[in-house]
């Protein structure tokens, strides 16, 4: 079954405590991205990756890091989380240049105290 | 001004009604127009998409784009309680990164 998985699904943490949200896809997709979803603001892209070792900033990259060492994995790193990073996070993947193949993960709900 | 505007709702309709969901956009370079459906506590899933102007039909769903007025519509015929979800429009200019610009979503509730 084609899928994007994220872990953890729910996370409560405190300000400044580094955390990583993992993302993995089993479709051999080149393109992967991270979004955050906030009420009234919709889905906003944080970072994206066109392929292994190729990453670039999206619209709201401040406070986040990513890496793409393997094609299937695209972890999101919050080095020093702050309360304004409390949000619902989605990982997505698709074939490069083929919008209609985009799959989203199930989401990670993060609360930063 | 946001690039994509979408009425957040909620929109409540009785089962069997025709539903019209709409977005407006400001960037005339958008060429691809996607509609995603997001159930509660789930990730968005692609419902349908169109390229450039015109209509596209898929079962009970019809997507319509009017580029002259920068208006995107999704129609649902014979709506069902299982259609209750948030609907997100997401246009794109295409190109190498094919970046999607998402609307805020419209919450639809179909009452049995």
The torsion angles phi and psi of A66, rounded to 5 degrees, stand at: -140, 165
Q: How far is B3 from chain A (nearest CA, A)?
A: 12
Q: Which residues of B touch A50 (CB under 8 A)?
A: 96-97
- Asked whether the beta carbons of A76 and A9 are under 8 A apart, the reply is no
Q: Is the Cβ pair A99, B49 closer than 8 Å?
A: yes
Q: Is the Cβ pair A106, B43 closer than 8 Å?
A: yes
Mind listing the pLDDT tens digit of every residue in chain A (113 residues)? 889 999 999 999 999 999 999 999 999 999 999 999 999 898 999 999 999 999 999 999 999 999 999 999 999 999 999 999 999 999 999 988 888 889 999 999 999 99
pLDDT at B49 exceeding the cut of 80: yes
Kindly list the distances between the CA atom of residue B90 and the CA atoms of A78, B1, B7, B8, B79, in Å, as whole numbers in the listed order. Answer: 27, 16, 14, 14, 22
Query: Would you state the pLDDT for residue A99?
Result: 82
Kindly list the distances between the CA atom of residue B32 and the CA atoms of B44, B45, B64, B68, in Å, as whole numbers in the listed order. Answer: 17, 16, 12, 15
Query: Would you state the pLDDT for residue B52?
Result: 84
Closest partner CB to B43 (pick from A41, A50, A90): A90
CB atoms within 10 A of CB A98: 12
Q: Give the position of tokens 């999101």.
A: A76
Identify any residues that bridge with B96 across adjacent strands, giving them in sequence order. none
- Asked whether the beta carbons of B109 and B12 are under 8 A apart, the reply is yes
Chain B interface mutation, best of A39, A42, A57, A58, highest count of B Cβ atoms under 10 Å: A42
Query: Would you state the pLDDT for residue B9?
Result: 85
CB atoms within 10 A of CB B2: 13
Query: Would you state the pLDDT for residue B99?
Result: 87
Residues 6+ apart with CB under 8 A from A16: A80, A81, A82
């Amino acid at each position: 079954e084609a899928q994007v998985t994220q872990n953890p699904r729910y996370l409560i943490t405190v300000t400044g405590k580094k955390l990583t949200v993992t993302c993995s896809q089993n479709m051999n997709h080149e393109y992967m991205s991270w979004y955050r979803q906030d009420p009234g603001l919709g889905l906003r892209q944080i970072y994206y990756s066109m392929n292994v070792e190729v990453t670039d900033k999206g619209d709201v990259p401040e406070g986040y890091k990513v890496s793409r060492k393997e094609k299937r994995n695209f972890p999101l790193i919050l080095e020093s989380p702050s309360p304004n990073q409390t949000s619902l996070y989605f990982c997505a993947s698709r074939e490069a240049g083929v919008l209609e193949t985009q799959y989203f993960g199930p989401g990670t709900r993060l609360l930063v105290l | 001004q946001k690039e994509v505007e979408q009425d957040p709702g909620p929109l409540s309709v009785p089962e069997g009604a025709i539903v019209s969901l709409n977005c407006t956009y400001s960037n005339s370079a958008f060429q691809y127009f996607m509609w995603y459906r997001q159930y509660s506590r789930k990730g968005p899933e692609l419902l349908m998409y169109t390229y450039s102007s015109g209509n596209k039909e898929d079962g009970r769903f019809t997507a319509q784009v009017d580029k002259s007025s920068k208006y995107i519509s999704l129609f649902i015929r014979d709506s069902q309680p299982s259609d209750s979800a948030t609907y997100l429009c997401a246009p794109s200019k295409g190109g190498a990164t094919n970046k999607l610009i998402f609307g805020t979503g419209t919450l639809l509730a179909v009452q049995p």
